[in-house]
Amino acid sequence: MDKPQIKILLAEDDHNLGTILKAYLEAKGFPTTLCADGQEAYEAFTKQSFNFCVLDVMMPVKDGFSLAKDIRKVDTKVPILFLTAKNMQEDILEGLKIGADDYMTKPFSMDELLLRINAIYRRTYFEKPGDSEKTFFQIGKYKFDYARQILKIDGKEQKLTSKEAQLLKMLCDRVNYVLDRSEALKKIWLDDNYFNARSMDVYIAKLRKYLKDDPAVELLNVHGKGFKLLVTGENDQS
């Protein structure tokens, strides 16, 4: 991976921390734009091209969650990592529901931040979870274009986030078979810890909603095992 390709948007209202983070990231080869509040960061995002976003949650003018929602309207793929001073489950899950890729609780290690950025960037732009090289799938009446992250039915298009597309591809690669929960967590989230598991449940719920227009398609929870994308008419096996 070519580190200079990773251009980072850093939104942090703590001037001292923001300045230190910017200096550290740039010393590691990541060009970084520092913004002091969410609105300034959003304006920078719409005017420049970024490969990664590191967003503080608590900021003036526009908080990190609101900023992330606005960024997701523009770009569903760019990785987002939240920085939070709170180690509260509700805050963490809120960020994951918005579509964040990860979070870190202050204070944190600079080295760990670097490792997380590299891992998330590699996963988002280079690694493709799943067993096949296929990028196009027919799911009942749905057409799923993995490369473009688009799910279509009856002329309607649903643009998917990177994680949604990765998870749906793994399910498609195992249609009518069980997708092991731990396997999906390790391949897409890199860790099968509690918060990542809760995050995956959110993404499963989103995919189930996207797939509701064809009664021949069901996304099932298989208790104690994982999930199964069931398509009526296909060879069903457990």
| pLDDT for the residue 238 | 39
Domain boundaries, the chain: 3-125, 136-231
Q: Which pair of tokens denotes residue 55?
A: 């967003």
Q: Give the three-state DSSP class for 156.
A: strand
| pLDDT for the residue 130 | 47
Tell which phi-psi region holds residue 149, choosing left (phi > 0), alpha (psi between -120 and 50) or beta. Answer: left
* Bridging pattern class, strands 217-222 and 226-231: antiparallel
Please determine, looking at this structure, whether the domain spanning 3-125 carries the CATH number 3.40.50.2300: yes
Q: Which pair of tokens denotes residue 168?
A: 């749906």
Tokens 């969650």 found at: 65
Q: Give the three-state DSSP class for 231.
A: strand
Amino acid present at 133: E
Q: For residue 78, which of 26, 36, 117, 114 has the smallest C-alpha distance? A: 117
The secondary structure of the chain in percent helix, strand, coil, rounded to multiples of 5, reads 40, 25, 35
Low-confidence ranges of the chain (pLDDT < 70): 1-4, 86-89, 126-132, 233-238
Domains 3-125 and 136-231 share a fold: no
The topology under which CATH files domain 136-231 is Arc Repressor Mutant, subunit A (1.10.10)
Q: How are strands ordered across the β-sheet holding 226-231? A: 178-180, 226-231, 217-222
| pLDDT for the residue 88 | 63
Amino acid present at 9: L
| pLDDT for the residue 233 | 59
Report the C-alpha gap between 170 and 173 in whole angstroms: 5
Report the C-alpha gap between 155 and 134 in whole angstroms: 22
Segment holding 210, helix H or strand E:
helix 194-210
| pLDDT for the residue 212 | 94
